[in-house]
Structure 1
Amino acid sequence: MKVLVPVKRVIDYNVKVRVKADGSGVDLANVKMSMNPFDEIAVEEAIRLKEKGAASEVVAVSIGVKQAQETLRTALAMGADRAILITAADDVHTDIEPLAVAKLLKAVVDEEQPQMVVMGKQAIDNDMNATGQMLGALLGWGQATFASEVNIDGDKAVVTREVDGGLQTISVALPAIVTTDLRLNEPRYASLPNIMKAKKKPLDEKTPEDYGVDISPRLEVVKTEEPAERQAGEIVGSVDELVAKLKDAGAV
């Protein structure tokens, strides 16, 4: 079974994001970039499936700027077998929209014919949580989102999902889309020998034109601004006083 794992290059989750003074976007100058944490979990899960003998090959794919090569090399160092980079932007500030990403991933799936796509449930830069679902719709595949446990049972994937009411276990026929949640696993650190080996693993470079996909943006970002500062709390002496203050504030 071949597993395809899309990965995205984002601002490292330890970095405090700064908005440009003119509100035109986020300042990326000299900012540390890394693999989207949810995608890192997806890579780890695909590698574990291979280690269990459920998967035979793990292919990582990234869509964005040329610098995303570093992100793919990280996936290769973790244990992916090969990688595909689709260079879809020249400016690091350009974010490819989920529908365009889904269309490109569908083209990759049509070419690679994987039996499963394992991907992060969302990217931490835009939090759209849309690409996996869009890809499932374009392919006509079943999908198991927000996965906290994945097992392969013959031609089906048994997936435990995190839902509002707790956990839900479903069985989805392969081929299928699985999007990963935080509690699925703990990604491994790439060892130095594997980092060196990753430099020799295949990494193909493509463009959207190679797949005949139009990635023209459909959305326009009008303005970016910092969230409002949280107001200081207030201690009240009783429940009645709390209710009165909430009523005055229009909260109840």
Structure 2
Amino acid sequence: MDELASLRRQYQELLERLERNEREFRRLGRAVWRVQEDERRRLARELHDGIGQNLTVLKHRLGQLDDALPADRVDARAALATALALCGDTLQDTRELSRLLRPPILDDLGLEAALRWLVRSQAEACGARIELDVDSLPTLDGELQTLLFRVAQEALNNAAKHAAATHIHVQLTARDGGLQLRVHDDGRGCEPEQALGAGGSGLGGMRERLRLYGGVLQLRSAPGEGLRLSARVPLSPP
């Protein structure tokens, strides 16, 4: 009996040690992700306030040069017009990259406003019809808002760029102490395990991030049958 009690005690100690290690792993993982998002925020601000403003000034100066040129300097005017167009395109690309890195609307107005911006910008970029339904949401922690925004962003990128979807439906609901994000598309579909096994910043990476907050990511798909993505995360992560 003493030996059995000792084994039970050792087993219980092992379980407690594993639980402590799991909590520490999640804490460290969330800390790493916070650092990554802070770096995204800093880079986005540098692009917008630094490079973006310099390009704006450069475009203004080129415009002044164009206005000052005599009307008969056709070649010079054509060269300046090309430079102005290139400067304008680069400025637009810089602003778009800044918003994709970390859209200011996410920090300023919250998750719902950021999702509406994301859906609108993705629809304009890929030409797909994207619908968004958002339930009334409780006050959300900033990290949860960022987490669900990144999952939605990756799902829409996957549907538009890789699945060639023409119709995408995004739904965010809050119930039973958690948040659930669903993204359904009519694209070419995929093998779920293969998509999740890629890791990195794709759907597999999103699954690992959700796990850090006690969440789960599920995919239902088959080649040619579109993709149904469901992400659920508790309002109070462990």
Same fold (TM over 0.5): no
Greater per-residue strand proportion? 1
Scaled by the length of structure 2, what TM-score is found?
A: 0.25
Scaled by the length of structure 1, what TM-score is found?
A: 0.24
Greater per-residue helix proportion? 2
Structure number with larger C-alpha Rg? 2
The answer to which structure, 1 or 2, has the higher relative contact order (CA under 8 A, 6+ apart) is 1
